[in-house]
Amino acid sequence: MFAPANSYVPQCAPRTQSVRAPLIMWAVVAIIALIPAGLIVAAPLLLASGHTFFALAIYEIFSHLCHQLPERSFHVEGQKFAVCSRCTGIYFGFALSVLLYPLARSLKRIDTPHVNWLLLATAPITVDWALGATGLWDNTHLSRFLTGALFSAAAAVYVVPGLIDLGHSLRRRFDTRLQERDQPVIAVVVEAVAPDRSAPSDYGSPSSRI
């Protein structure tokens, strides 16, 4: 006989989970990308409004990632951004690309474009830096910002699918471990509730023999 419906163990995840997992991973990446972009602008605003402790803490954090030269940084309220104009473009370009990612590609896709596109996006920022370093051309805040933003926006198209794939792998590993943990419990329950359908033996009662 067939087992009752309430003892059936599903062998695949519901469709809603496969849609929800990439969306959650994308939202996490978007939040992480927006935090540093917001802090870059928050630092000068906090310093200008008198919140020196919090402002200097933000400057200190970004000092390990950027030279923070005033002449190479944007300013607001008379105070420089927490990073230079090129790093500002990198952070802002990445955050904007992540936010707009679902409009350009499906979150279910984990494939990435050919690496040549990433190399192509690297060319402008490399040329802008090289010309400025050699003194052949004096780059500007705008050129540094735009080339940095172009590079990081292209990089996001490679980072987001990789993180979504990582989220799928962690989810599958979690489901596998959960299933392995519950399997002995299911086996014990099935064995306990399963009726004994074995036929009685004639040798159990000598008087019943013919």
- What is the per-residue pLDDT for 13? 47
Q: How many helices (H) and strands (E) does the chain have?
A: 5, 2
Report the run of H or E that residue 76 belongs to, with start and end.
strand 75-76
pLDDT, one tens digit per residue, over 175-196 is 787 777 766 655 555 555 555 5
Contacts of 146 (CB under 8 A, 6+ apart): 89, 124
Mean pLDDT for the stretch of residues 80-91 = 97
pLDDT, one tens digit per residue, over 93-142 is 999 999 999 999 999 888 999 999 999 999 999 999 999 888 888 899 99
The structure tokens 């959960």 sit at 178
Amino acid at 203: Y
Amino acid at 116: N
Looking at every residue in the chain, the average pLDDT score rounds to: 84
Task: Provide the residue ranges of all domains of the chain, joining segments of one domain with +.
Answer: 20-185
Mean pLDDT for the stretch of residues 158-173 = 85
Q: Considering all CA atoms of the chain, what is the largest pairwise distance in Å, rounded to the nearest integer?
A: 113
Look at residue 75 and give its three-state secondary structure: strand
Residue 2 has pLDDT above 60, yes or no: no
Cβ neighbour number for residue 86 with a 10 Å cutoff: 25
Whole-number percent of the chain with pLDDT over 90: 58
Burial class (CB within 10 angstroms; exposed 0-12, middle 13-18, buried 19+) of 40: buried
pLDDT, one tens digit per residue, over 36-48 is 999 999 999 999 9
